[in-house]
Amino acid sequence: MSDMNTKDFFIGTLIGGIVGASAALFLAPKSGKELRSDLNEQAQLAREKTSQFTTTAYDKGSEWASYAKDKSSTIAKVVSDQSNQVVDKVKEVAASAKSTGDELAEDLTSTVNAAEQEVAETVKQEVDDIQAKVEEDDKL
């Protein structure tokens, strides 16, 4: 709902600005030739600004997509590594016939807890990095 209100506000502001600028141009005491010249200059400026905005938006979008892809691949790698370690530990425990069931369960639980904690820390660090990047870009 808030996004819709913001969108409506910006659309209204844009339309109001265009109407106001048009009224100022048409009500100004200028000759037709001067008015057409001014209109052409303003149209050229609007095209240039729109082109700059489009380029900036495209570049930022590409940058964010690349950044998100890098961060998600890092998280996926950590999760995969931890999963492999847990699987290896389960295989090791299953192969070990010397230990009792309680010892095996305790050992496996500690391994899973350590892996879970490492994954959580890695994900938290990645999220903190993303948040820092967002705040840095907001300052620009």
- Give the CA distances from residue 60 to residues 57, 109, 139, in Å, rounded to whole numbers and listed in that order: 5, 44, 14
pLDDT band at 9 (very low <50, low <70, confident <90, very high): confident
When pLDDT is averaged across residues 114-119 and rounded to a whole number, the result is: 82
Query: How many CA atoms lie within 13 Å of 79's alpha carbon, on the beta-carbon side?
Result: 10
Please measure the distance between the N-terminal and C-terminal CA atoms of the chain and give it in whole angstroms: 27
Q: What is the dihedral of CA 14, 16, 18, 20, to 10 degrees?
A: -150
pLDDT per position as a tens digit, 32-64: 788 788 878 888 998 998 889 888 888 888 888
Residue 72 pLDDT > 60: yes
pLDDT at residue 2, as a whole number? 55
